[in-house]
């Protein structure tokens, strides 16, 4: 069953341009994405390509000066204010990036206990704490007293209770030791095995490939390709979009080719034509004519006129 | 949820070209400057006939002939108010300017003359901040035997510490900047570094600091004069007008207190706005007095 | 924890001693440089009836004929023994005058301090919760206007409105004129306290409201609020659970650190309403050249401000868990 469905999502900021004029910058542009039950979908892309905004848009916690259009549905129903209120913190959970997302003046134990939580969740968390090798003492600490690893476990345990159906994890692995990364990923994997949908947002394509079923590749505010994890193999012949191929080949074990157009990925969306056009080796005149429409291809999905 | 975001943003959108923050800032700053210009020019142009005693026109409520009414000696309250404001602004300018100068010297000295000087000045700042401004002003006014001199010196000596702190912090930060370190290695003197490297960077901070000090200076001038320790009763100061008005309050002559006070409020408010806007424009959030 | 507090108190005690010493020396030197003749100030209206010999006697009685260091040492020595000299205008020991005045002022200031704190805090929260709405703009505009308003003028307006026009409240003095002190009932005292207290609290609302507004607005934009919202906390619960916790301490700190302004405001409010407190005594001492009383009041107000700052510092360093446990870890 489809848990999360994002259709034609665009996010843009209002800001001051030169003088006293105000301008609009598109950060996410025409994004489509689906997450099914028991599935891990990874969203990969350069830092600043609008991935975190996607997470915040789904949770309905974007700042006020942000314009959003498009549709977000959960279990086939439009996720409007009332449904968000019902599902947020119960069925849909966010695992944030860092300890800065915890109230600095609230003890961990008190903070873990969300308003919607009952005795059942408290007991679940206690077991989870044992499993994660967090002592009971941890509950009495303030967030600033947590070590990096402890903080990650605490953040993870806010979401990982049985009633959660959909987890959105925003950069859960950066700056972690290899062993910690493996452990963190294993946790998400085990949640998915219990039927939970996981949207894993990361810039670490290798980490994503280890557990994800499908990978959405972000470029200039939109998904240029959605591929199955097994498509990332060999020299990337199975991949559909030139940017994805370039990303794949830029990995150390795949040739370490320098990535062109990496800067573009974090800039504002290009108005006309394929956003990757200026950096693409196989670009032709057709690429500049308009934005490529998304189309199905070999069990995946791509925004490129040339892909076959 | 998404619809709500759109509506909110759309609401902000409607006024984009005409009424955004920057244009409002420009308008309010020019309005404030115009107000102050009117006060200063008005007091110059008005002459002193409004201040003359005319017993036939005593105790008159506001009317077209006397917009602010007249007092118990028949003096025109509008003239008195404008003159009083002009005087208060002048004293405030003098006091705030000297305070800014002291703050600059103290701040730069603390940053450049080494640890001992820094400790000494920081301690002096602490001591000055630990006596209430008004009590210190009363003490200094008493020491100077009252009058304009007392007020001006009092304001000068009491308002510098907070700005000096800002200057010191800024200068200390600059002292560890690369270009200053190189200059020091090259053997430049402290004076040279303070005047060539630090002063230009501190300039904008001082301007904003001055504009933030000024309203305080005017308010304190009015307060100390109101208490009877400031300007002499013969000068047309707002504090004098208001303290005199107290004697006539019970007779219902409200205009004696309302208009001069409102004038003072408006002038102080105008300057406070200029300072606030300029602070946000130059450097959001760094100068806080 | 106890060691931390003991260390804190020890450090503060040393600071207080040096501070009082410095303020004593500076103000004594200042007063000494005054052109106002203290003998003249003492004699006041009796100037015609006092001959030169009597003047010399008075000077000798007050020790005014001695050189500066000697006088200072004598005064400082007496001060260390708890004797601040005798007030020239009230003809009573300074300690006694200040003690009596302090009692009436402290009620005024405590009331105003609490009022302005509670109202300012509430207004700040209301403004931040509806940031950029008309209510926020109203509160902000009101605060900016208040901050530019002379406190004594507010007092004059209130007096005009409530005492002269409406006749609800008395014009001045802390007790009705012509009534013996024992007969003054509490209600009367309260009636006389209302207007000065309101004046003083109105003057103190703006800083705390603007500070709270800014602080809460920052908190509401913080990551932890985002996360709390993502976990289903919303509306007032969000403010109660995460907002108040993070803004209460800074607001209280600011409120304690504003004792200086509070004292200054009290001077003005007491003068407007002829309320016989410390502030009015300060003005009287300044106007009539009562040096011992003025010196005593300068020291007293310094002590008052120091107390406020110390409490603020205490809240900041000892009560906040980040500063307490994280000494050195954070900042």
At residue C172, the pLDDT reads 54
What would the DSSP string read from start to end of A52-99?
HHHHHHHHT---TTEEEEEEEEETTEE--HHHHHHHBTTTEEEE-SSG
CA-wise closest residue to A36 among A75, A76, A3, A7: A3
Nearest CB to C230; choose among A88, A105, A142: A88
Stronger pLDDT, B8 or C293, i.e. the higher one: C293
Q: How far apart are CA A32 and CA A71, in angstroms?
A: 9
Q: Report the largest interatomic distance among the alpha carbons of chain A, rounded to a whole angstrom.
A: 64
At residue B284, the pLDDT reads 46
Stronger pLDDT, A274 or C138, i.e. the higher one: C138
At residue B103, the pLDDT reads 92
Locate the chain C residue with the closest alpha carbon to B229. C287
At residue A265, the pLDDT reads 44
| pLDDT tens-digit series, residues A108-129 | 888 888 777 778 888 888 888 8
Show residues of chain B in contact with C147, CB under 8 Å. 272
Q: Averaged over C99-111, what is the pLDDT? A: 90
pLDDT at A83 over 70: yes
ipTM associated with this complex: 0.83
C246/A104 touch (CB, cutoff 8 Å), yes or no: yes
- A42 bridge partner residues: A200, A215
Cβ-based neighbours of A172, under 8 Å, separated by 6 or more: A95, A97, A152, A155, A156, A184, A188, A200, A202
At residue B289, the pLDDT reads 40
Show residues of chain C in contact with B133, CB under 8 Å. 260-261, 264
pLDDT at C327 over 60: no
Please report the number of interchain residue pairs, chain A to chain C, with beta-carbon separation below 8 angstroms: 75
Cβ–Cβ under 8 Å, residues A11 and B2? no
> Which residue of A9, A10, A22 to mutate against B (max B Cβ within 10 Å)?
A22
Q: How confident is the model at residue C213 (pLDDT cuts 50, 70, 90)?
A: very high
pLDDT at A131 over 50: yes
CATH 1.10.3720.10 holds for C94-290: yes
Grouping H, G, I as helix, E, B as strand and the rest as coil, residue A46 is coil
Cβ–Cβ under 8 Å, residues A291 and A274? yes
pLDDT at C217 over 80: yes
Mean pLDDT of chain C: 82
Among A246-260, B88-102, B165-179, the range of highest mean pLDDT: B88-102
All domains of chain B, ordered by start, with CATH? Answer: 20-50+67-282 (1.10.3720.10)
At residue C88, the pLDDT reads 77
At residue B55, the pLDDT reads 66
A147: alpha, beta or left? (left if phi > 0; alpha if psi -120 to 50): beta
pTM score of the predicted model = 0.81
- Return the partners of chain B (3 or more C-beta pairs < 8 Å): A, C
Q: Averaged over C37-58, what is the pLDDT? A: 67
| pLDDT tens-digit series, residues C122-158 | 999 999 988 888 999 999 989 988 888 888 898 888 8
**Which tokens go with A146?**
């947590």
Q: How far apart are CA B210 and CA B156, in angstroms?
A: 12
Q: Report the largest interatomic distance among the alpha carbons of chain C, rounded to a whole angstrom.
A: 86
At residue C330, the pLDDT reads 36
Stronger pLDDT, B19 or B107, i.e. the higher one: B107
pLDDT at B285 over 50: no
| pLDDT tens-digit series, residues C277-307 | 898 899 988 888 788 888 889 999 999 999 9
| pLDDT tens-digit series, residues A29-61 | 788 888 988 899 999 887 766 778 888 888 888
CA-wise closest residue to B103 among B158, B163, B156: B163
Chain B residues 2-61 with CB within 8 Å of chain C: none
Among B20-29, B63-72, C258-267, the range of highest mean pLDDT: C258-267
Q: How far apart are CA C202 and CA C179, in angstroms?
A: 30
Least confident of B50-54, B273-277, C263-267, C302-306: B50-54
Stronger pLDDT, A173 or A95, i.e. the higher one: A95
């Amino acid at each position: 069953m489809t848990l999360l469905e994002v259709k034609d999502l665009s996010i843009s900021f209002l800001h001051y341009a030169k003088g006293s004029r105000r301008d609009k910058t598109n950060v996410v542009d025409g994004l489509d994405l689906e997450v099914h039950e028991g599935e891990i979908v990874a969203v990969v892309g350069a830092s600043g390509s609008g991935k975190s905004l996607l997470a915040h848009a789904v949770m309905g916690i974007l700042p006020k000066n942000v314009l959003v259009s498009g549709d977000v549905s959960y279990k086939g129903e439009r996720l409007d204010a009332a449904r968000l209120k019902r599902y947020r913190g119960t069925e849909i959970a966010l695992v944030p990036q860092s300890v800065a997302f915890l109230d600095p003046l609230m003890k961990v134990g008190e903070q873990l206990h969300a308003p919607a939580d009952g005795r059942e969740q408290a007991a679940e968390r206690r077991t989870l704490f044992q499993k994660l090798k967090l002592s009971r003492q941890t509950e009495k600490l303030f967030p600033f007293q947590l070590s990096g690893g402890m903080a990650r476990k605490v953040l993870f345990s806010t979401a990982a209770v049985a009633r959660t159906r959909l987890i959105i994890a925003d950069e859960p692995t950066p700056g972690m030791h290899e062993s910690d990364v493996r452990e963190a990923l294993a946790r998400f994997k085990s949640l998915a095995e219990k039927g939970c949908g996981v949207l894993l947002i990361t810039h670490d394509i290798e980490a994503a490939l280890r557990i994800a079923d499908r990978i959405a590749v972000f470029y200039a505010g939109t998904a240029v390709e959605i591929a199955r994890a097994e498509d990332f193999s060999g020299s990337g012949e199975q991949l559909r979009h030139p940017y994805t191929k370039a990303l794949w080949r830029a990995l150390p074990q795949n040739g370490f080719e320098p990535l062109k157009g990496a800067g573009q990925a974090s800039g504002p969306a290009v108005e006309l034509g394929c956003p990757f056009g200026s950096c693409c080796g196989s670009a032709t005149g057709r690429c500049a004519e308009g934005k490529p429409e998304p189309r199905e291809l070999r069990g995946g999905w791509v925004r490129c006129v040339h892909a076959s | 949820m998404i619809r709500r975001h759109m509506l909110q943003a759309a609401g902000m959108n409607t006024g984009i070209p005409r009424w955004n923050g920057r244009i409002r800032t420009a308008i309010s700053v020019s309005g404030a400057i115009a107000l102050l210009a009117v006060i200063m020019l008005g007091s110059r142009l008005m002459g002193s006939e409004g201040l003359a005693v005319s017993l036939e026109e005593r105790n008159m409520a506001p009317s077209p002939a006397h917009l602010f009414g007249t007092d118990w000696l028949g003096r025109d309250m509008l003239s008195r108010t404008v003159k009083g404001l002009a005087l208060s602004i002048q004293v405030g300018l003098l006091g705030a300017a000297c305070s800014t100068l002291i703050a600059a010297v103290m701040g730069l000295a603390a940053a450049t003359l080494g640890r001992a000087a820094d400790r000494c000045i920081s301690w002096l700042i602490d001591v000055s901040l630990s006596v209430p401004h008004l009590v210190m002003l009363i003490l200094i006014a008493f020491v100077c035997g009252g009058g304009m001199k007392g007020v001006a010196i009092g304001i000068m000596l009491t308002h510098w510490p907070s700005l000096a702190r800002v200057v010191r912090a800024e200068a200390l930060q600059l002292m560890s900047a690369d270009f200053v370190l190189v200059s020091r290695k090259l053997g430049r003197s402290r004076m040279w570094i303070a005047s060539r490297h630090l002063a230009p960077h501190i300039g904008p901070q001082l301007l904003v600091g001055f504009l933030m000090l000024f309203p305080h200076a005017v308010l304190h001038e009015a307060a100390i004069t109101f208490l009877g320790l400031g300007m002499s009763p013969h000068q047309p100061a707002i504090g004098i007008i208001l303290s005199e008005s107290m004697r006539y309050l019970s007779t219902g002559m409200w205009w004696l207190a309302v208009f001069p006070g409102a004038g003072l409020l408006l002038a102080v408010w105008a300057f406070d706005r200029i300072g606030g806007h300029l602070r946000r424009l130059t450097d959001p959030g760094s100068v806080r007095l | 924890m106890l060691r931390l507090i003991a260390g804190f108190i020890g450090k503060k005690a040393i600071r207080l001693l040096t501070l009082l010493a410095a303020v004593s020396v500076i103000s004594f030197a200042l007063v000494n440089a005054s052109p106002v003749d203290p003998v003249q100030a003492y004699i006041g209206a009796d100037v015609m009836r006092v001959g030169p010999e009597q003047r010399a006697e008075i000077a000798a009685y007050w020790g005014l004929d001695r050189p500066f260091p000697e006088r200072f040492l004598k005064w400082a020595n007496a001060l260390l023994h708890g004797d601040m000299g005798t007030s020239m205008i009230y003809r009573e020991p300074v300690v006694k005058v200040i003690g009596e005045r302090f009692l009436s002022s402290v009620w005024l200031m405590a009331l105003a301090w609490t009022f302005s704190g509670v109202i300012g805090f509430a207004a700040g929260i209301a403004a931040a919760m509806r940031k950029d709405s008309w209510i926020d703009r109203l509160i902000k505009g009101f605060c900016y206007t208040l901050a530019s308003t002379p406190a004594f003028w507010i007092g004059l307006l209130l007096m005009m409105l409530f005492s002269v026009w409406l006749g609800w409240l008395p014009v001045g003095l802390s007790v009705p004129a012509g009534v013996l002190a024992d007969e003054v009932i509490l209600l009367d005292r309260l009636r006389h306290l209302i207007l000065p207290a309101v004046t003083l609290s109105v003057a103190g609302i703006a800083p705390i409201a603007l500070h709270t507004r800014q602080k809460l607005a920052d908190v509401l934009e913080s990551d932890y609020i985002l996360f709390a919202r993502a976990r289903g906390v919303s509306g007032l619960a969000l403010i109660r659970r995460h907002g108040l916790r993070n803004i209460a301490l800074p607001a209280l700190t600011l409120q304690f650190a504003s004792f200086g302004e509070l004292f200054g405001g009290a001077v003005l409010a007491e003068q407007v309403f002829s309320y016989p407190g410390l502030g009015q005594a300060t003005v009287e001492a300044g106007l009539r050249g009562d040096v011992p009383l003025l010196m005593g009041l300068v020291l007293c107000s310094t002590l008052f401000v120091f107390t406020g700052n110390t409490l603020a510092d205490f809240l900041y360093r000892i009560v906040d868990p980040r500063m307490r446990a994280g000494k050195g870890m954070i900042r």
